[in-house]
Amino acid sequence: MSLSAAEWERYARQIGPGVLSRAGQERLKRSTVLVTRVGGMGGPAAQALVMAGVGRVIIAHGGAMISADLNRQVLGSETGIGRLRAEHFAARLRELNRFVAVESIDHEPDDAEADALAERCDLLIASPPNFAERLRLNRAAVRAGKPLVDAAQWGLGGTLIVVRPGETACLACVYPEEPPFEEFFPVVGAISSTIGSLAALEAIKILSGTGEPLFGRMLVYDGLRGIPSLVALRRNAACPVCSASSPNR
């Protein structure tokens, strides 16, 4: 699939030495990415993917916007309070780039839907607030053999994990037990956008074949002190999701 002259003009600043190749840009155009959810982290991630020219971006997010979302959910607006998030956010994304197809799903996918979506996608970005959903997307990504970028945040800090199924640790290797869910955990929008944008950058690198993705490592950003660190992740040979003996495989 080739790009039109108008598309090459759109992406001119991101093609060349140190950024994407023309072939990489064409690979982005042929790619489909699922982002769930599209709040503080997934919103900026979806925005960056759409602006970069990923061919199809599927967003999933249930429920209606509330005022407290607007300290971080950049795809929202004052006029969206009380409206369903998914279509409100999708409309904003479509305004950003006419060359990209945006699909919206107005709920969080269950196991079967996550599996079907993973089959359709080239990569998944997981940024839900709870581990049940994140681990569900991890299972779907491992089953489908698709890369997963997991973004998480708390307070002024965040983490990023990039999974290549069959080669690197998966999310269940790192979190064998689901940590407790805290519904209204503290978070500042600046860290949400940072982690979400880095998740999109990893996705763009993987899909376009640019640079060195963070496969097998966890990026931890301690925003309180302004200190980033990288943690090497080891696979769990007995992982119920990604080990060779797992019924999931």
Which spans of this chain sit near Zn ion (rule: CB under 5 A)? 170, 172-173, 239, 241-242
157-163 and 148-154 strand pairing: antiparallel
Q: Write the burial class of residue 73 (CB in 10 Å: 0-12 exposed, 13-18 middle, 19+ buried).
A: buried
Q: What end-to-end distance do the CA atoms of the chain give, in Å?
A: 32
| Nearest to Zn ion of 218, 241 (CB atom) | 241
- Residues paired with 229 in a beta bridge: 220
Number of Cβ atoms within 10 Å of the Cβ of 246: 16
Q: Cβ 178 to Zn ion, closest distance in Å? A: 14
Least CB distance from residue 195 to Zn ion, whole Å?
A: 22
The answer to whether the CB of 167 falls within 8 A of the CB of 147 is no
At closest approach, how far in Å is the CB of 206 from Zn ion?
19
How far is 203 from 209, CA to CA, in rounded Å?
Answer: 10
The answer to whether 179 touches 131, Cβ cutoff 8 Å, is yes
Cα–Cα distance measured from residue 59 to residue 16, given in angstroms and rounded to the nearest whole number:
29
Q: Which is nearer to Zn ion, 94 or 217 (CB)?
A: 217
Q: Tokens 């709870």 label which residue?
A: 130
Nearer to Zn ion, 75 or 141 (CB): 141
Q: Residue 118 CB, nearest distance to Zn ion (Å)?
A: 15
d(CA 72, CA 31): 27
| Minimum distance of Zn ion from residue 172's CB (angstroms) | 5
Question: Least distance (Å) from Zn ion to the CB of residue 236?
Answer: 6
CA contacts within 13 A on the Cβ side of 148: 35
